[in-house]
Structure formats: structure tokens, C-alpha cells
Amino acid sequence: AELRKASKRLSCHKRYKIQKKIREHHRKVRKEAKKRGHKKPKKDPGIPSAAPFKEELLREAEQRKQRLEELKQKQKLNRQKEHEKKRKLEAKKNAATIKEKAEGEESSGKSKGKTKKPLNKNSKKSFCRELMKVLEASDVVLEVLDARDPMGCRCPQLEQAVTSSGGNKKLLLVLNKIDLVPKDNVEKWLNYLKKEFPTVAFKSATMMKDKTMEQVTKRHARVDFSETSQYFGSKCLLKLLQGYGKTQDKAIQVGVVGFPNVGKSSIINSLKGKRACNVGLTRGVTKSMQTVHLDKQTKMLDSPSIIADPSNSALALALRSIIDPEGSDSAAVLEGVNAIINHCSKQQVMMHYNIPDFRDPEEFLSLLAQKRGMLKKGGVPDIENMAKLVLFDWTGARIKYYSQPPGFQKPPPYLTEQKIAEMREGFNLNNLEQENSNTVQALKHPSPASSIAFQSAGMTNGTIEENKVIEEGSKWGKVETSKEEEEEEEEEEEEFTYTESDDDEDDAEEDDDDDDVKEVTRKAKPGKCQTNPTDSKELRAGRERSRSLSFSLDKPADEDDAYDFNTDYV
């Protein structure tokens, strides 16, 4: 039933009572006004006409008025002068401060930029800076991998930076989200990865209870934390880190790094046993380094995501890029979805989404949009928004897919046998294997038939250093400048051709064309002694013109009838 507004109707008794009170109040006000009486402002009677020396008195009054006005104007001018003086002083002070700042910036630039400018938290440079802070501060680095595509989550630049840094830094691989992958596949990946780095099987808690956060739920609805708050492998990882800390006889700092949406913050929350770091489905939730104390000996450092290099394949950029699908370009999202669908088993995709056969990814998106009711005006399927939803599903934990490890294991060039032995020092590997097998056995895994077979694109290149991000920007700048120069050259070339070809508009014979070529080349090629920098562009344009014309003249007789676009008659 709809809620109606309260009625304004009153009982007669109540209405008459209110009217009576109002009348009494008005009577009281009138009575008080009568007692006070009306006090009108008295008019100035002025000088009576019968008064002696009336004219002199009036003259004196006028003079007094003039004096008062002059005084007011003088005071106004004095005030304006004071304001001007204050403004000038402030302007001088501002100029001095600007000069000091400029000198300070120059000196800082000369000293190789020791004082860094504050960056925007969402910028790629700030992400790189925070990531480098974590790598420098940590004794053990945990590289988090998604069990569905572990090879695609590995960053060779990061691994090389850690292994070649020295200072007895260790790198551990954490295979997260193992509950989304078949059991055999998890065991294969653990056997493959442990030959290069010590690997821990892990299933992090996706939702943790937070005492400070109030949970707003609907009436008669309950939030079930039993499945979402379960985590496996935390005891194994804690034992491994604590054992390493005992061998070092000091408190250790553990940095957690990886690409977006692999579960870095969720792993820290699982180890802590409560919500210590913010987590979310959107990419790039963590924007700066966060410290979480597990105990007196171990401190966890949460880091922002690794930035995927733009030189990667469309598949790697779609799954590992830090850009959010909602904020990114629709063309890039469509390209990413196309790459994902092309790298999957078609029949399994059809079975999972429960749609008929499709020829290409666009048809797949249109069929899925029609099935889910995502339609635009006129019943046209909304492919763009559907592509964003599909990408969200694949980057999140909704879709269960798996990739096979490579058949032939060839370690990267930065991983020598000596480095592999160094990375294993200080860890109890036998105990680690036993704990991994226990965690794999304890979890409920999906069957290969219910999950999608996926073909991995290999390791994903990432940009770790801040300087490399700057270099990319400078390259774009160079490209833009070169484009501008080309446009200027084209404009000058057009002007040049217009001036040269006005005299020979109607000539179409080959002899006349030869003469034109000679004239153009004579005008375009100055003497050897002449070296004017302003004529260099005209010279270049003339040469290009002569080449194009000579190319058209060298054609066989059969092609003379067809119009040639290289000979641009104006």
C-alpha cells in the first residue's frame, strides 16, 4: 500500500480555539502599540524667513558641507594610496619567493633531482615508485600468481631485479586461487614452478569480517562468511617465513608483489586473520605501500600492482593491465575479449555461458547480450557493456579456467643454477612439499569438464622502474613532434607545387612533362655553394616531387591512358 500524506483537516472545536487565540494575540499587540504611541521622526524646520542674517547662515552651512566632502575625498585618496603601497610590497615579496623557488628547482635539477615532486596517487609513476620502495625494503619478496594462468602472472623484470639485487634477498612464488583450478593441474604447476623458485599453494579469503565496518543487510537476510572467509596455506607460509627469520636472527620484512587482481591484499588479510588491507574487484585498489605486523619477527608490506608493458599481447594487456574496464576505451575492451575468446576452447565456452555456436567473438557477445537482456534502443544487443562484464568475470574469481604448464622447462637467462640454489637457502623445502600436498588435498577442486581450457600467452613484461615510464612519455612526444614536422613539410610541398604548376595547367604530353620535371628540379636544387637552412625543406619537397614525376614517366605505354595519382596536376 502506498503511503499518503497526513490530512490537514481539524475538528471544529480545535479550529475555533486556534482562531480565538489569534484574535486575542492581535488585540494584545494593538493595545501595547496604543500605550507606546506613534513616534514620527521630526522634520528639520530650517531657518525661519524672519530670522536676521539668514543668507549668511545658509552660506556658512553650505561651506561646512563642502569642507566635509573635501575631507571625505582626501581620506578616500589616502586610503587608495595605502592600498597601492601594500599591493606593491606584496608583489615584490611574491616575485622574490618565485625567484627563490626557481633557483631551488634549478639547483635540485643540477643535483640530479634529489627532491622528487609529489605525484598523483593514480599515476603509473607513483605506482612504480611505491613498488620500488617495497622491493628495496623487503628481505623476502612474495610474487603472487593466479593459479589459472601462473605463467601469465610472472614478470621477468621483477624476478631479475630481485635475483640480481644482492643483499641476500629471497623470492617466493605464491600460487593463489587454487580452488578455481582442477586438482591435477595444480599439482602439475607446483612441480613445474618448484624447480625454479620455492612455491607455496594458497587459497586466500575473499571476504573478511571487519569489526570497524558495519554490515548493512536486508531484513531477514544473512551474510554467509563460511565459504568466503575460508583460507588454506596460511600456516604453511607463516612457518616458512618464521623459519627463515630464525636462520637470519633478525626481524624480516616480506613484500607482496604481483599483477592486478591476483590477490595480494587478500593473502595479507588471510595471514593476519582479519581485514587489515582494503580489497576489491576493481583493479588498483592498493595505491601505496602499506605495512601490516604479523608478529614481532615478521612484517608484511603490501604494494601496488605491477604495470604491464604496452608491448605485451592483447591477451596479456586485457588480463594483467592496471586500467579498469569501466574507465578504459571500449575498443581496447573489445580487443581484450576477442583475445580471451580466441585463446579458449570454443565448446567449453558455449557450455559455460549456455549459448549456441558462434562464428567470431562479436557474435558471441551479441548472443550473450540477448540472453542476459542487455539491449539498447530498438532491441540492438549492447556489445560494449557486455564485453566489460565478460572482462570483469575473467579478471575476477567467477570463471574457472586453467592453463597447462609448458612441456619443456627452460629457465630464463637470469636464473642460473647458482641463483636457484641461493633462492632455496634458509627454507625447509621438504616440509613445504608436505604442507602443499595437504592444502591441495583439503580443498574442493572443480572438475576439468566444468572449467574452461585456456592457452596462456607466456610471461608478461612489466615496467618496474619509474624512469622507463618517463622514457615512454618522451617517445610519444618525439612521435608527435615528428608527425607535426611531416605535416608542415606536406603543406610546404603543396604550396610549392601550386606555384610551379600554374603555368603548365593544360599540357598533357610527355615532352612537356619532361620540361616540367627539369624546371622543378632546377628550382628545387640550388647551387652547391648555397647552404640556407630555411630552404632545406623546400629542397626535400622538390626532390620528392621530381622522383614521383620521373616514376610516372618511366611507365610503359599501356598504362598511359589511366589517370596516375602520382602526377598531381593542379
E-only strand ranges, 295-364? 298-302, 307-308
Residue 243 · residue 427 · CB < 8 Å: yes
Type and span of the H or E element at 292: strand 290-293
Q: Which residue has the higher pLDDT, 204 or 107?
A: 204
Q: State yes or no: pLDDT of 171 exceeds 80.
A: yes
Q: State yes or no: pLDDT of 397 exceeds 50.
A: yes
- Report pLDDT for 468: 66
End-to-end CA distance of the chain: 79
Query: Per-residue confidence at 19, pLDDT binned at 50, 70, 90?
Result: very high
Q: State yes or no: pLDDT of 346 exceeds 60.
A: yes
Domains present along the chain, CATH in parentheses: 124-209+226-309+409-445 (3.40.50.300)
Q: State yes or no: pLDDT of 226 exceeds 50.
A: no
Secondary structure (3-state) at 276 = coil
- Report pLDDT for 111: 55
Query: Per-residue confidence at 568, pLDDT binned at 50, 70, 90?
Result: very low
Q: State yes or no: pLDDT of 554 exceeds 60.
A: no
Nearest residue to 513 via CA among 549, 476, 470, 483? 549
- Report pLDDT for 219: 39
In 10 A of CB 136, how many CB atoms? 11
- Report pLDDT for 328: 61
Query: Per-residue confidence at 138, pLDDT binned at 50, 70, 90?
Result: confident
Residue 358 · residue 386 · CB < 8 Å: no
Instruction: Report which DSSP code applies to 230.
Output: -
Average pLDDT of span 327-344 = 81
Q: State yes or no: pLDDT of 64 exceeds 60.
A: yes
Global pTM? 0.58
Nearest residue to 128 via CA among 461, 459, 460, 467? 467
In 10 A of CB 295, how many CB atoms? 11
| Spatial separation of the C-alpha atoms in residues 465 and 157, rounded to whole Å | 10
Q: State yes or no: pLDDT of 533 exceeds 90.
A: no
- Report pLDDT for 428: 81
| Spatial separation of the C-alpha atoms in residues 382 and 377, rounded to whole Å | 9
pLDDT in tens, 353-395: 888 888 888 899 999 999 988 888 888 999 888 888 888 888 8
Secondary structure (3-state) at 175 = strand
Task: Return the percentage of the chain with pLDDT > 90, whole number.
Answer: 13
- Report pLDDT for 85: 92
What own/partner pairs with CB < 8 Å and gap ≥ 24 does 125-128 have? Answer: 125/466, 125/469, 125/470, 126/287, 126/288, 126/304, 127/284, 127/287, 127/304, 127/305, 127/307, 127/322, 128/307, 128/463, 128/464, 128/465, 128/466, 128/468, 128/469
Integer CA distances (angstroms), 56 to 44, 47, 140, 451, 527, in order: 19, 11, 103, 113, 98
Secondary structure (3-state) at 146 = strand
Mean pLDDT of all residues in the chain? 75
Task: Return the percentage of the chain with pLDDT > 70, whole number.
Answer: 71
Average pLDDT of span 94-121 = 69
Average pLDDT of span 540-560 = 44
Buried/exposed 376-395: b ≥16 CB within 10 Å, e otherwise: eeeeebbbebbbbbbbbebb
Helix axis angle, 183-193 relative to 429-442, nearest 10°? 170
